[in-house]
Structure 1
Amino acid sequence: MTTVGRLAPTPSGLLHLGNVCAFAAAWLSARADDGRLLLRIEDIDVTRARRDVEQALRDDLVWLGLTVDGEVPHQSSRDYGPALAQLAPRLYRCQCTRAQREQALPDGAGCQGRCLERDYQEGAVRFRLDTGAMTFVDRRWGAQMTDPRAFGDPILVRRDGLVSYNLAVVADDITDGVTDVVRGSDLLEYTAVQIQLWEALGAPPPRWLHAPLILGADGKKLSKSHGSAHVGAMREAGATPADVWRVVLPWLGIDGASSLDEALPQWDPTAGPRGPVALAQE
C-alpha cells in the first residue's frame, strides 16, 4: 500500500513554527516511505477562512520546500451528506449548554443522558461514542490507552448548520485515501474519538504520529498572538529557509540539517523530544 500523508492548514491564521514542526514530520514520514503528500485547505468554517491567508500559507510552504503532490481540494467544496447518512444510527440532536455538558462529563455520559432519548428536532448534531477505554499505537508515543468519553460525544454539525472539524477531517482523510495522519501532540488523546468515527464510516484508521507541541516563550501553545514565530514574520526579518529548519528539525531529533532533503536520511519517527518544547525568550 502506498503511504499517503497530508498537510491540512486552516486559512484563518498564518503558518507558525508549531505548524512547521508537524508539517515537517508529515513530509519526512511520507517521503521516507516513497509515498505521496497531499495538501488540503480546511476552510469548512467559511466565517473564519480568508483567501489572503490561504495564499500566504501556500507561499510559506513553497518557500520552506514543503512540496506536495496532486490537486489541492477545499473542504468548503465538499458534500458531507453521505457521511452523515452513514453515521445516522449513532447521531442525535443536542440542546445542552456548555455548562450542562461539562457538568455531565465526569460520569462519562456526556450529553447522552440528557439529550439522547429526547428526539429533539433542533440543535447541534452529536455522534454517540461507544463506552470504555480504547487502545491505539502512536509511532512516536507508543501504545496509548484513552477513554474517549472524557471528551463527550463530538459535535458533527453545529447549531448554525455548519459541519464541524470532527466530521470533515475524518471524512476528508477517507475520501483522499490518507494512510498516515501527523499532527501536534495536543490531539494525542483525542485520537480515540476520531478512531471511532473512522470505524463507523467503514474505514480502517490510519497510522498516527503526534509531533511535539511547540509553546511560545510565555508557555502557551503557539497561536496568532505569537507574531514573531510566524514564518512570514521570520522571512520579513531576513531569515532564510535554512535558518528556520535549523530551529525546527532538532525538535524532530535531526541535527545539523538545514533542509528537508538533508534531514530525510536521518528521519526516525521515534527520535527527538516528545515535548512540549518552549521557544526561548526573545
Structure 2
Amino acid sequence: MAAIKNLAVALSFSILTITTAMAQKPEDTEFYKPVPPKVTAGKTFADAPSDALVLFDGKNLDQWVSVKDKTKPAAWTVANGAFTVKKGTGNIETKKSFLNYQLHLEWKIPANITGKGQGRGNSGLFLASTGGGDEGYELQILDNYNNDTYVNGQAGSIYKQFIPLATVNKKPGEWQTYDVAWTAPVFNTDGSLKSPARVTVFFNGVLVQNNIALDGPTQYIGKASYQKAHGACPIKLQDHGDPSEPISFRNIWIREL
C-alpha cells in the first residue's frame, strides 16, 4: 500500500509540474529593463573603455596627490609616458575616493634591479587607502621572477593575507599588468562589519585572486581585522624606500561599479 501511495504522490507532482510548465510562456522569463549602459571597449584589453576615468594618461599626475601633504601634488617623476617612484617623497594616492570598481594598472621593475627578498623592487597597490602611511588593503608589487620570499608577500598576493594562485612574474625590465575587481566592505550603523571587502585579481592575464573575502586592512605585524568603519577611499601607490632602483607605472584607469 505504501508503494502505491508513494507512486500516486509522485504522479500527482509530475502532473502539477507539467501543468504549471504548460501554463507558462517563454516571455514570462524575458526581461527588457533595466537596460545596461552602452560602453565602448578599448582597441585592446589594456585600453580604457569609454566609461573609464583615466588616472594616468602618460602626461601628468594631475589625478594624484602626496599622502604626506594632500594639498600638494604627487612628486614622483613623469617621463616617456610613465611615472616612477621618487625615493623619499612618500606614497601617493588618487584625489578621488572610490567604493566598488574595476582597475587596470601596469608596472615595471627596472632591468638593473638589485637586492633580494622584500628589498627587491618593493611597492604596493593599496586598493583602498584607509589612512596615511601604509594603511589600507595592499596588493603586493615585488620582483619575484628570480627572487624568493614568503609566499603571502610575493607579487600578486594580498599582503600578509592571501597567496596568489600562481606565480606569473615577467623579467625585470618588462611591463606587467594588474586587473582588479574590488568590492568595498560594508559596515553597519554601529560600525560593525556587515560584509567584508572582496577582490579578484588578474596578474599578467592570469587569475591569481578569485573573489576572496579579505580579513581586513593590511597589517605588517599581527592578523588583519576590521577595526574601524570606513566608506569610499582613495587608491594608493607605495614608496617603499628600498635602495634598489625604483618602480615605474603607466596606463592606469578605473571604472566605478
TM-score for the superposition, normalised by structure 2: 0.21
| Higher percent of residues as strand | 2
Is the radius of gyration larger for structure 1 or structure 2? 2
| Higher percent of residues as helix | 1
TM-score for the superposition, normalised by structure 1: 0.19
